[in-house]
Amino acid sequence: MISEKSYVLGTKKSTIRTIFEFGRKRAAEVGEENVFDFSIGNPNVPAPEKVKEAIIDILNEVDSVALHGYTVAPGDPQVRETIARSINRRFGTSFTGKNLFMTAGAAAAITICFKALTEDDVHNEFITFAPYFPEYKCFVEAMGSELKVVPANTADFQIQFDKFKEMLTPDTKAVIVNSPNNPSGVVYSEDTIKKLAEILSEKEKEFGHPIFIISDEPYRELVYGGITVPYIPKYYKNTLVCYSWSKSLSLPGERIGYIVVPDEVADFERVYGGIAGAARVLTHVNASSLFQRVVARCVDEPSNIAAYERNGNLLYNGLVEAGFTCQKPQGAFYLFPKALEDDDYAFCERAKKYDLLLVPGSDFGCPGYFRAAYCIKQETIEKSIPAFKKLAAEYGK
């Protein structure tokens, strides 16, 4: 009577959900302030004041029927033009509004791309790199395609190119890149992107058809210590950029983002048309007409990254002091340290004794590690360090 797949996807408790519920229970027992919940990757800094101002200004300036009416499916033309110009200023590109398709956040953006690139009645493959955001698998499979995962390069969380090369086949439609990365907190270097582009260009020639990069970059603005995130369309022409303001403007619940389709992609008209059709049947009729206008007005508003950067460094230093090995925080709001035993589930279970709520790396396709999200109160991080030290001491650190 009901799709079994949908039922399982709608009811199976994720690890993060189970941890969350444990955290609620413990908070009731020992007090909220004594539970160190590093499990949830949700912005904890408020949206910039400018967002509120923009909403109020728009309500006062724009006629209600125009403001709350449907926009054309790709999004309000003026909004798209404004965003294109902002991208151009920052990355030296030359997009116009017609290169943008507004979406309900990055999740919708990437899934629209998966749907558009999934050819009818053939086997389609997408590739991503561990550690990776586990929803990719649900989204790709729901569109009728297969997701292949390149094992993690745990030396520095860049890419294992030898393994990657072996996985590319004539059925490969696209490669999903997520940098700054959830969960590793690492940014792919310019060398990594160049190498990736080189391999894909070779394989495109070999297979005689395009292989797209889908660049899922909701964390693009959240980078620390002067790191630069290479803008992939400048390195590889068949790139679709999927962006969201969920993290940069702390608006995850408002679902607002976009897809960039550069003029340079193979057969722009077919790709953009396919995206429009995919959005239509996934019933993403148009992205919120109010929030399209809001982000256009806030397009050059800087993200409030100071709090994240302070938290990231604080947690990193504490973990290293406690004896953990971990990449320095580069971007997003995650650290991905090595667990202190091979079995990351057992490790995270043991961490609960100290009310440390951590997510096993296996959930992201990378066993032996764990994710700690540091988009939480600074005091929580400060208070958690002694708990991490006690946990490490159990392992003789």
Find the binding residues for a copy of itself in span 258-277 (CB under 8 A).
266-267, 269-277
Q: Other CB atoms closer than 10 Å to residue 61's CB: what's the count?
A: 9
Nearer to a copy of itself, 165 or 280 (CB): 280
Contact 286, 77 (CB under 8 A): no
- Minimum distance from residue 287 beta carbon to a copy of itself (Å): 8
Q: Beta partners for 215?
A: 177, 241
Q: Count residues contacting a copy of itself (CB under 8 A)?
A: 79
Contact 252, 246 (CB under 8 A): yes
Nearer to a copy of itself, 55 or 227 (CB): 55
Nearer to a copy of itself, 274 or 318 (CB): 274
Q: Kindly identify the residues of this chain, within the stretch 98-117, that bind a copy of itself according to CB under 8 A.
A: 104-105, 107-108, 110-112, 115-117
Contact 94, 120 (CB under 8 A): no
Stretch that binds a copy of itself, among 64-72, 156-164, 180-188, 326-334 (CB under 8 A): 64-72
Stretch that binds a copy of itself, among 2-10, 89-97, 183-191, 322-330 (CB under 8 A): 2-10
**56 part of the interface to a copy of itself, by CB under 8 A:** yes
- Minimum distance from residue 134 beta carbon to a copy of itself (Å): 12
**43 part of the interface to a copy of itself, by CB under 8 A:** yes
- Minimum distance from residue 336 beta carbon to a copy of itself (Å): 22
**279 part of the interface to a copy of itself, by CB under 8 A:** yes
Contact 279, 112 (CB under 8 A): yes
- Minimum distance from residue 193 beta carbon to a copy of itself (Å): 22
- Residues 173-212 as x/- pattern, contact with a copy of itself by CB under 8 A: x-----------------------------------xx--
Position among 31, 61, 64, 92 found at the interface with a copy of itself (CB under 8 A): 64
Block residue for tokens 């792919």: 188
Nearer to a copy of itself, 249 or 340 (CB): 249
Position among 59, 320, 346, 393 found at the interface with a copy of itself (CB under 8 A): 59
Position among 2, 29, 31, 226 found at the interface with a copy of itself (CB under 8 A): 2
Nearer to a copy of itself, 55 or 392 (CB): 55
- Minimum distance from residue 185 beta carbon to a copy of itself (Å): 20
In whole angstroms, give the CA distance from residue 182 to residue 40: 12
**28 part of the interface to a copy of itself, by CB under 8 A:** no
Stretch that binds a copy of itself, among 48-56, 182-190, 225-233, 388-396 (CB under 8 A): 48-56
Nearer to a copy of itself, 31 or 70 (CB): 70
Nearer to a copy of itself, 15 or 160 (CB): 15
Q: Kindly identify the residues of this chain, within the stretch 138-177, that bind a copy of itself according to CB under 8 A.
A: 138-139, 142, 173
Q: Kindly identify the residues of this chain, within the stretch 333-352, that bind a copy of itself according to CB under 8 A.
A: none
Tokens describing residue 343: 């079995």
Q: Kindly identify the residues of this chain, within the stretch 223-252, that bind a copy of itself according to CB under 8 A.
A: 250-252
